[in-house]
Structure 1
């Protein structure tokens, strides 16, 4: 599987997500910077992805916020994200201006407190 399978990721981002996934396999307390912020322009959902499972490169780990007030750390299928459409049938987009300045756990703590991702 390659980044080209997921139009919202560049090759460099996919490679970094895989590297983070490999690191988390050898270091259980690994807390990466999010690599990419994805969002639905017409549905209020946001994802901050920090890693991809190297054994299942369709599965990403990150902070998931479906816009219902309960953001949580978890896994998400990249193939399902690629197929997801919002109310106006728009696909998921990448926030091109996002630059992570905190570890994923810090974003998660702040999001839980606020009821949404604040990035």
Structure 2
């Protein structure tokens, strides 16, 4: 039996399908979900990654903004303010966004969030910063 997974943002359904495992970073720590997991609701860390291990194929990595992670009855819902699959990310644009966030920085919260999101996009694309 596989998990039914949906990763969605306000703009679109980013990914949906069956998976063996889902890993996400919540404000309480990293959580890995497999079939039969107890119900859970978590708050996603803004600027983190969600990794989906599909029943067949390569691991799917997505950069996500703030949102929620819900598990019940072998269904995993990842509801993110912003979500982008690693393969969709323009690495040059992500690097530029990171440089801009660092240049703008005086340590205020919007700059920190922008930098964290840019770094997550680079990690999701496989271009570690």
Q: TM-score, normalised by structure 1?
A: 0.29
Larger Rg: 2
Select the structure that is richer in strand. 2
Determine which structure has the larger helix proportion and give its number.
1
